[in-house]
Copies of this chain bind each other. A is one copy, B any other.
Amino acid sequence: MFKVEIITIGDELLIGQVIDTNSAWMAGELGKAGFDVQYKTTVGDNEKDILEAFELAFSRASIVLVTGGIGPTKDDITKKTLCKYFHTQLVFDEKTLETVAEVVRGLQKDLNELTRTQAYIPENCTVIQNRMGTAPITWFEKEGKILVSMPGVPYEMKWAMNQEIIPRLQKTFPVLDFIQHQHYWVKNYSESLLAMHLESFENELPGFIKLAYLPTSGLIRLRLTGKSSDKVGLQREMDTQRQKLLALLPNDIVSEEDANLENILDKLLKEKGLTLSVAESCTGGKLASLFTAIPGCSEYFMGGVVSYANAAKQHILGVNPSDLIDFGAVSEPVVTQMALGAQRIFDTDCAIATSGIAGPGGGTPEKPVGTVWIAAICKDKMKIEEFHFSQNRESNILRACNCGMMLLLELL
C-alpha cells in the first residue's frame, strides 16, 4: 500500500481563521480509490517550515499532496518554495498563460499583470492546467515518489483531485488489489446500538473486508470495503456479507446508494417525473439549499418557504392560526398543514415540511431542544414523524434535513 501524506499550507489554518475541510474530503476520495492517508501536516506560509514538511513527508510517504499557498499574492510562497526544494527555477509557460487567460475571460475580467505571473511555473515539473481558477497544479517526481501542489480553494481542489490527480495517481501507482465498496443507509438505530447489533457480524468478517460507520446526521451510513487480488472471490464474499447484513437489518435499510440523500432523491424524482417543494421552519432554508446545490434540480424543485415566523406559516402556507395557538408551531397538525401548504402553493407532487426546536434556546419541559416534527407528502400519501435529536443547533438542522428526505424516500 502506498502511503499518502497531505500537507496543508496557510497561516489562516494556524490561527484558526479557516477550518480545514479539504483534507477530510481528500482522504475520503483517496480511500475510495485505494490510497490510504497516513499523515496530515499543516504549516504556515513560511519557507523553512514548508521545506521541513516536504523533507519529512518524502521520508515517510510515497505520495505527498500539498494544498494552498499558490495564489498570485506575496504571502503565497508555496511555488517559490517548491523551486527551492526541487532545485529548480520559475519559467514562463505560454500554455499555462493561455489557460489562465481563458479562466479570467470566463469571469468576464481582464487579465492583469499579477494574474499573468500565475503562468510562471517550476521548470522541472508537469503542469496540470487548472480549469477552475488561475493557479496551475504542479506535479513533481523524485526517486519514485510524487508531490502534487494544488489550490486550497475547495471547489478548485475538488475538481483537480477528481478530474486530474486521482486518475494520474492510479496510473502511476497501480493499486494491485481490487477494491469493492457497498453502502447502506440505516434508520432506527443509534451508532452504538447498531454497533452492538452488528458486533458478531463484524467479528466474523474475513480479514480483507472492513466495516466502517460514516458520520451522518440522523441516520447511520455503513460502508463495507473489500480488498483482494482475487476479483471473483472478492465479489462472492461481498455478496455473502451483503445477504447477512440485509437479514440482520430487515426493515432498516433506507437505501444502498453511495450518495447523499438529496442526490438519491434528485435521481428518483427525475426518473418518476415528480415535482418537489419544501416548507421549512427549524431547518431554515438548509433543506432547499441541499437540493438547489445540485445542477439541474430545477427540473423538479419548484421552491420553498422558510416560514420562520408564525405569521409566515399562517399567511403564506395557510396554517390554521388556532392550531398554532392550541398545539404550538412544533406539532403534528402544524407540520402537516405546512407540508400541504407547500404542495398547494408550489403546485407540486411532493413536499417536505420541518418544524422543531433547533436550540440552544426555545426548549420547554414538554418540548425540549431537539424536538422536531417532520412531514413528507407524495401525492395523496403522507408520512409524519416526531424526532428527538440533540442539544446542538447545527446537528439538529442537519438531522432534520436528512430525516425529512428519508421520509420522502420511503414514500417514493
Contact A24 B28 (CB under 8 A): no
> Given A24-B19, A195-B114, A302-B311, do A190 and B109 touch, yes or no (CB 8 Å)?
yes
> Given A38-B49, A389-B107, do A307 and B303 touch, yes or no (CB 8 Å)?
yes
Contact A289 B285 (CB under 8 A): yes
Contact B304 A309 (CB under 8 A): no
> Given A16-B25, A132-B392, do A309 and B316 touch, yes or no (CB 8 Å)?
no
CB of A161 to closest CB in B, whole Å: 12
Q: Roughly how many angstroms separate A368 CA and B152 CA in the complex, as a whole number?
A: 26
A247 interfacial contact with B, CB 8 Å: no
Q: Which residues on B sit within 8 Å (CB–CB) of A245? A: none
Contact A305 B308 (CB under 8 A): no
Nearest residue (CB) in B for A202 is B74
Contact B27 A293 (CB under 8 A): no
Contact A212 B17 (CB under 8 A): yes
Contact B292 A289 (CB under 8 A): no
As for how many copies of this chain the complex holds, the number is 2
Contact A43 B49 (CB under 8 A): no
A39 interfacial contact with B, CB 8 Å: yes
Contact B16 A26 (CB under 8 A): yes
Contact B292 A286 (CB under 8 A): yes
Nearest residue (CB) in B for A68 is B215
Contact A37 B14 (CB under 8 A): yes
Q: Which residues on B sit within 8 Å (CB–CB) of A107? A: 370, 388-390
Contact flags (1/0) for A364-375 with B, using CB distance below 8 Å?
000010100000
Contact B74 A293 (CB under 8 A): no
Contact B18 A215 (CB under 8 A): yes
Q: Roughly how many angstroms separate A347 CA and B308 CA in the complex, as a whole number?
A: 13
Task: Report A's interface with B, CB cutoff 8 A.
Answer: 11-21, 23-31, 36-45, 49, 56, 71-75, 106-109, 112-115, 132, 134, 152-155, 190-193, 195-196, 199, 202, 210-215, 223, 225, 278, 280, 283-289, 291-293, 295-298, 301-309, 311-312, 315-316, 345-347, 358-362, 368, 370, 388-395, 397
A-B contact pairs, 12 of them (CB 8 A): A12-B212, A17-B28, A18-B24, A23-B42, A109-B388, A152-B215, A285-B286, A285-B304, A292-B308, A297-B308, A302-B311, A305-B306
